[in-house]
Amino acid sequence: MSDAATTTAKEEITRPEAGQQVTVRIDDVAFGGEGVGRVDGFVVFVPLVIEGETVEAEITEVKKSFARANLIKVVEPAESRIEPECSYFGDCGGCQYQHMAYEAQLAMKQKQITALFERIGGFSEDKVAPVVACPQSFNYRNRILIRSQWNGKAKKLLVGFRKRNSHWVVEIDDCKIAEPALNAQIREVRNNPPNKGGVKVNLRVAPEDWMVPDHSFFQTNYFMLPRMVEVVRKIFQSSGSDYLIDAYCGVGFLGIELASLAKRYAGVEYDHRAILAARENAAKFGGDNGEFVEGRTEHLLPELLAKFEDGNTTVILDPPRKGCAPTVIGQLREIRPA
Ligand SMILES: C[S@@+](CC[C@H](N)C(=O)[O-])C[C@H]1O[C@@H](n2cnc3c(N)ncnc32)[C@H](O)[C@@H]1O
């Protein structure tokens, strides 16, 4: 590009100012839920919007290459815009998409995941399977974390979830995505609140059969478990491999569910209590053709891969949100399991 063209492009982009009201068309919804639009060429993120909508928003923060804004009014709503079920929606930080019809949420997630795989890994669109819908889009979560917070100004102990983009707590009596049994637990906590602020209360409907220690991970949506196992089972079966490694295995759920299809399997997990529970779960559910090893996947994966035949081993990766350590990906790229 010539110098003149660069200068012209730069000059055309004027940064908005904090407090300014803008009208913006939403071109995309980024991973995490913020809508992306442009005001005079400058990128503005607006929450609680849908691709294709035109909205009025107030700029709240201006950075070097983008700004953030609060939604004031939807000028041209998308067809998929609906009334959120939850009265706390928008204020509470727990949900991002209740203003969209469920089908539209699924399509948007599909687009986001496909774009991430394409941008970061160079994978083509057809490598990403369609999102599997949940049989129920509300009252499905089996675990939530509520917090207490002392509000000095109001001289009141708040009990609820974190507000959106804030450290403050919004008081909650009822959560639309939590299982009904958890809502009963929320009310119990509200009626008998902790005696101070800063307390986190972990509420959970434990699975009926699986042994899960209090603070160990278990899949948070029981309605999706059969579908999830089905997807992983099909991939394992179509690989034709005999051996299975369940990396980041928690209490052994996926490895044990698939154990009968493997000659041998191994799980790795760094939560000590989860590994003890995984061994008990394996004994209970007949997964005795495998072992559960305690430690970090990034440290133990080479050892586990060496136990099984290269090209005849499938590795399940179900890491925490921050993802796998880069060395794990490096090891898998080298070995190229089935
Ligand atoms: C998303 S959960 C998956 C659990 C399991 N696959 C299941 O279906 O129940 C991720 C698990 O990885 C564990 N974890 C996190 N970092 C780890 C690491 N570096 N090495 C081994 N386990 C790790 C966490 O304790 C958690 O149990």
- On whether the CB atoms of residues 197 and 150 are closer than 8 A, the answer is yes
**Backbone angles phi and psi of 184, in degrees to 5:** -65, -40
Residue range 24-41: mean pLDDT, rounded:
95
220 C-alpha to ligand 1 centroid (Å):
13
249 C-alpha to ligand 1 centroid (Å):
5
Residue nearest to atom 1 of ligand 1 (CA): 320
Ligand 1 within 6 A of 292 CB? no
Dist CA 45 CA 57 (whole Å): 10
The strand pairing partners of 35, in sequence order, are 29, 46
pLDDT digits (tens, 9 = 90+) for 137-153: 999 999 999 999 999 99
150 C-alpha to ligand 1 centroid (Å):
33
| DSSP reduced 3-state for 43 | strand
Handedness of CA 14, 37, 27, 131 (dihedral sign): positive
Residue range 312-333: mean pLDDT, rounded:
95
Short-list 325, 311, 305, CA closest to 239:
311
Is the pLDDT reported for residue 4 higher than 60?
no
Assign 132 a pLDDT band (cuts: 50, 70, 90).
very high
Mean pLDDT of the chain: 93
322 C-alpha to ligand 1 centroid (Å):
11
Assign 135 a pLDDT band (cuts: 50, 70, 90).
very high
CA distance to 241, 304, 337, per residue, from 310 (Å) = 10, 11, 6
69 C-alpha to ligand 1 centroid (Å):
36
Residue nearest to atom 11 of ligand 1 (CA): 248
- On whether the CB atoms of residues 249 and 216 are closer than 8 A, the answer is no
- On whether the CB atoms of residues 93 and 168 are closer than 8 A, the answer is no
| DSSP reduced 3-state for 215 | coil
Instruction: Write down how long the chain is.
Output: 338
Pocket test for ligand 1, best of 142, 236, 270 (most atoms within 8 A of CB): 270
**pLDDT recorded at residue 12:** 63
Short-list 318, 204, 300, 298, CA closest to 255:
318
Task: Please give the span between the terminal C-alpha atoms of the chain, in angstroms, as a whole number.
Answer: 46
317 C-alpha to ligand 1 centroid (Å):
9
Residue nearest to atom 20 of ligand 1 (CA): 296
- On whether the CB atoms of residues 130 and 103 are closer than 8 A, the answer is no
Angle between helices 297-307 and 326-335 (to 10 degrees): 20
pLDDT digits (tens, 9 = 90+) for 194-233: 999 999 999 999 999 999 999 999 999 999 999 999 999 9
- Which tokens in the block code for residue 197? 């602020």
213 C-alpha to ligand 1 centroid (Å):
14
Give the contacts of 337 (CB within 8 A, at least 6 positions apart): 241, 245, 305, 310, 311, 313, 314, 315
CA distance to 63, 158, 187, 197, 330, per residue, from 155 (Å) = 36, 10, 21, 11, 53
| DSSP reduced 3-state for 274 | helix
| DSSP reduced 3-state for 26 | strand
Ligand 1 within 6 A of 316 CB? no
Residue range 303-318: mean pLDDT, rounded:
93
Pocket test for ligand 1, best of 220, 248, 297 (most atoms within 8 A of CB): 248
Structural domains of the chain ordered from first start: 16-76 (2.40.50.140), 143-204 (2.40.50.1070), 223-335 (3.40.50.150)
What is the atom index within ligand 1 of the atom nearest the CA of 319?
10
pLDDT digits (tens, 9 = 90+) for 244-298: 999 999 999 999 999 999 999 999 999 999 999 999 999 999 889 999 999 999 9
